[in-house]
Structure 1
């Protein structure tokens, strides 16, 4: 069976990641929705989608009725809920890019719509599908740590990645984009929830915008990097993008739609100075969570790192597990025997193989060969946690999720 899938949103995630992986996995991309005409034409040519199946807005696509087996929704953050509700009303299975919504009350809308539909929503929390974090879960499930007590998890964003996505990119201001923690770390919050094996009960958070703001600009900085005389700026767009693989992320984000890299640097947002003040997202944030069952987790998300990776410690009554995702390294200390075990897990591919793993599992589900991936009811716990953490950060208080206050 070759599942027929429509792509709603032909950006990097929708077309360059999910579209390519779905096609490679045997799915047929039948319809496209994308408001940028040049990008729509580019992706349509890639998949052989005829003009009659190309649309600038999802309303025109859904007006056709149910003409495919499933849809991928990879539209901008503020345009996830409306097309997902329409897709569920028609019985589509949905692969929904995170964050699923920007307002907490919309979580219940999605849950109710799924309950009333024959379709099922899979949120793109791809880290659960990586061999690395599946190995972590396997250690937990095997009992080597005893009872899990604490989790220490860090998302090391890397300074250049933060500048690309959260200063110059689509997620630089919230609203309209999701808050930094939700946009960047709903993956990580979902992992914490999976490891704890219970819903979150209480959260506190601290953080803010420390560096990427006008007052931090070096003397003489220009508004655009290609004409800036400052030497040694770590966020110089010329340094970040020139010399990288022109056919891979992040350069493909700049050249999508047919423009050259140099045109993008000279005219688009990715060539702007990071100190102009167009961004509002925190560049460093720390979160503490109490989960049901008593597990306590700390998550730190920071721009001020060299590596673009995740690091973690799982602390149990009988052992400690340490991990570094970028290198795939895991280290298990057994308190009972004194044994130390080290091993390396394959982390090849985008998101450490998680994109491929998620798409493969979703395709198996569409073919009737596997159960649905993580249920929506569980995936939304990560979003509830992110919304609560943002309230805690902005209001300087502890938020109780069990009571919603």
Structure 2
């Protein structure tokens, strides 16, 4: 805990149980995974462990990845894919599903179809897949971010609206803002907005510690290193942090008739502060790849250490998952046939790949270079960024509605020991909260635990809440989102109102999805132009009028 949040007398500790896995229905929801990368695997795993749904099919162009996900979650190690269980391309799936429906209409016996899709392809492909699936009218969960440009987000939003504005939506839609669905954050929101344990919120400081070597893997050497081929790191890494802040500070509590209380002003500062040529150690000389660098044995960013060593999550530690599998997807095959030495040799071969001044730019940008020197890469995204949002008073609300002035600061920082273990300070009118992804500590200013003494710091009653630490990613958020998405589909299949299922199970509308992404794009504009943006005016100009 941060020193200024420590308290002398912690009277109560509350430990909360895990959410129960929903019971299977007579006709359980069937889901297809589109994209068999790490996020596709995360949701496929969550389907089996935390939901009452079935992983029914997979779309993936890379044969090894497709078959690995299928063996793990669909047809089993000893089975073979049946018709309709695997596809190389999402367009192949659409064509197959249209043909299946036509045969079913003609009275033929056909395999069951799917009710929904988890879209886990690369970010820049989200728009084409979402719009391409529109004709099937299946429910969609799209991994974050929704898209890599604001215009694409708006186009997706328009595609999801009913053709007749007087009618409700025809399909459920969810986004991979998994932080909303972790047991920790769901409890945090209840404590703040429903129980009001610290009164009205006045100020929030929220930090995402990315982790120094995680940032080097994903945002210097990996898929998300360049804005031109991906998007700003604030969008690709931290859009769900911005979303969770808006969920806590803008979205009204359950059953409230009030509209969202949106920020008034947004500003941001950030840059690529460390991962650039100016920071390159002199001992590295002209080397551009770790395997040929004289400084490699002493370098903390050594690709050899990160991916084959035993100090982090390299192969030497016994890990064959992320990030090792990202470098070499078929690592298990090498280990099975040739043991540890064969696996390490295969990884080092991948790491040795490099480019020079004569390599075409498009060839450089279309693949990852995990052995590349972190100071010689083509990365350009921020490795440190701060976003500030302020809210004006809502003059149409009463004092008890919690819609007064407030400020929130978000910090995405790469140089941390923690990897994505977020922590948050929230300051209210009657208390404060410190939350660290594990424990929520509530300190109550109205309950001193000793007489006030000018010679000592005041001490106040506090309570610690320990939400269930779920397995999987994002503190159980992956499983939580999958569970709620499938529950919503199940309700619709059983005849419940779609709008009600969207609100009660997913708790997030497509309008909220677009708004949280818009705040990210607004923050990026503010950072690039070094200005403070009037958000309502920006929204009117960039979103509402389009």
Q: Shorter-chain-normalised TM-score: which range?
A: over 0.9
Query: What is residue 27 of structure 1 aligned with on the other side?
Result: 53
Aligned residues: 402
Aligned with 1:202 (options 243, 265, 281): 265
**Alpha carbons of structure 1 residues 347 and 248: separation in structure 2 relative to 1, 3 Å:** farther
- What is the CA-CA distance between 1:102 and the residue it aligns to? 1.3
Shifted more, 177-186 versus 85-94: the winner is 85-94
Q: Secondary structure at the match of 1:340?
A: strand
Q: Secondary structure at the match of 2:114?
A: coil
Aligned with 1:129 (options 181, 193, 197): 181
| CA distance in structure 1 between the aligned counterparts of 2:468 and 2:371, rounded to whole angstroms | 34
- What is the CA-CA distance between 1:397 and the residue it aligns to? 0.9
Superposed CA deviations along residues 59-108 of structure 1, whole A, max 9, x for unmatched, are 22222337411011111010001111222332110010000011112222
Q: Which runs of 5+ in 1 are unaligned?
A: none
- What is the CA-CA distance between 1:271 and the residue it aligns to? 2.1
Q: Secondary structure at the match of 2:216?
A: helix
Query: What is residue 324 of structure 1 aligned with on the other side?
Result: 436
Q: Which runs of structure 2 are paired with 1:67-82 in the superposition (5 Å)? A: 67-82=113-128
Aligned with 1:152 (options 192, 195, 205): 205
| CA distance in structure 2 between the aligned counterparts of 1:384 and 1:92, rounded to whole angstroms | 26
| CA distance in structure 1 between the aligned counterparts of 2:283 and 2:322, rounded to whole angstroms | 30
Query: What is residue 375 of structure 1 aligned with on the other side?
Result: 509
Aligned with 2:91 (options 47, 59, 65): 59
Q: Which runs of structure 2 are paired with 1:190-269 in the superposition (5 Å)? A: 190-197=243-250, 198-221=261-284, 222-230=287-295, 231-241=297-307, 242-243=309-310, 244=313, 245-258=318-331, 260=343, 261-267=347-353, 269=369
Query: What is residue 177 of structure 1 aligned with on the other side?
Result: 230
Query: What is residue 137 of structure 2 aligned with on the other side?
Result: 91
Say whether 1:300 aligns with 2:411.
yes
Query: What is residue 528 of structure 2 aligned with on the other side?
Result: 394
Q: Conserved in 2, the CA contact under 8 Å of 1:77 and 1:176?
A: no
Aligned with 1:282 (options 382, 388, 394): 382
| CA distance in structure 2 between the aligned counterparts of 1:137 and 1:5, rounded to whole angstroms | 29
- What is the CA-CA distance between 1:304 and the residue it aligns to? 1.5
Say whether 1:39 aligns with 2:65.
yes
Superposed CA deviations along residues 102-127 of structure 1, whole A, max 9, x for unmatched, are 11122222222222251121001111
Query: What is residue 360 of structure 1 aligned with on the other side?
Result: 483
Superposed CA deviations along residues 212-248 of structure 1, whole A, max 9, x for unmatched, are 1122111243322233331332212222233234233
- What is the CA-CA distance between 1:26 and the residue it aligns to? 4.7
Say whether 1:4 aligns with 2:21.
no
Q: Conserved in 2, the CA contact under 8 Å of 1:182 and 1:383?
A: yes
Q: Conserved in 2, the CA contact under 8 Å of 1:88 and 1:118?
A: no
Shifted more, 66-75 versus 219-228: the winner is 219-228
Query: What is residue 22 of structure 2 aligned with on the other side?
Result: none
Shifted more, 109-118 versus 359-368: the winner is 109-118
**Alpha carbons of structure 1 residues 52 and 352: separation in structure 2 relative to 1, 3 Å:** closer
Say whether 1:113 aligns with 2:159.
yes
| CA distance in structure 1 between the aligned counterparts of 2:470 and 2:270, rounded to whole angstroms | 32
- What is the CA-CA distance between 1:202 and the residue it aligns to? 1.9
Task: State which structure, 1 or 2, has the greater radius of gyration over its C-alpha atoms.
Answer: 2
Q: Conserved in 2, the CA contact under 8 Å of 1:199 and 1:381?
A: no
- What is the CA-CA distance between 1:352 and the residue it aligns to? 0.9
Q: Which runs of 5+ in 2 are unaligned?
A: 1-26, 76-80, 102-112, 163-168, 251-260, 335-342, 354-367, 393-402, 449-460, 493-500, 542-546
- What is the CA-CA distance between 1:22 and the residue it aligns to? 1.5
- What is the CA-CA distance between 1:346 and the residue it aligns to? 3.4
- What is the CA-CA distance between 1:136 and the residue it aligns to? 1.3
Query: What is residue 166 of structure 2 aligned with on the other side?
Result: none
- The two structures have a TM-score, normalised by structure 2, of 0.70
Q: Secondary structure at the match of 2:376?
A: coil
Q: Secondary structure at the match of 2:147?
A: coil
- What is the CA-CA distance between 1:33 and the residue it aligns to? 2.0
Superposed CA deviations along residues 231-266 of structure 1, whole A, max 9, x for unmatched, are 332212222233234233222222324574344333
Q: Secondary structure at the match of 1:281?
A: coil
| CA distance in structure 2 between the aligned counterparts of 1:90 and 1:187, rounded to whole angstroms | 28
Q: Secondary structure at the match of 1:71?
A: strand
| CA distance in structure 2 between the aligned counterparts of 1:87 and 1:175, rounded to whole angstroms | 26
- The two structures have a TM-score, normalised by structure 1, of 0.93
| CA distance in structure 1 between the aligned counterparts of 2:245 and 2:172, rounded to whole angstroms | 23
| CA distance in structure 1 between the aligned counterparts of 2:266 and 2:300, rounded to whole angstroms | 33
- What is the CA-CA distance between 1:296 and the residue it aligns to? 1.2
Query: What is residue 351 of structure 1 aligned with on the other side?
Result: 474
- What is the CA-CA distance between 1:153 and the residue it aligns to? 0.5
Q: Secondary structure at the match of 1:280?
A: coil
Shifted more, 389-398 versus 336-345: the winner is 336-345
Q: Conserved in 1, the CA contact under 8 Å of 2:52 and 2:487?
A: no
Higher percent of residues as strand:
1
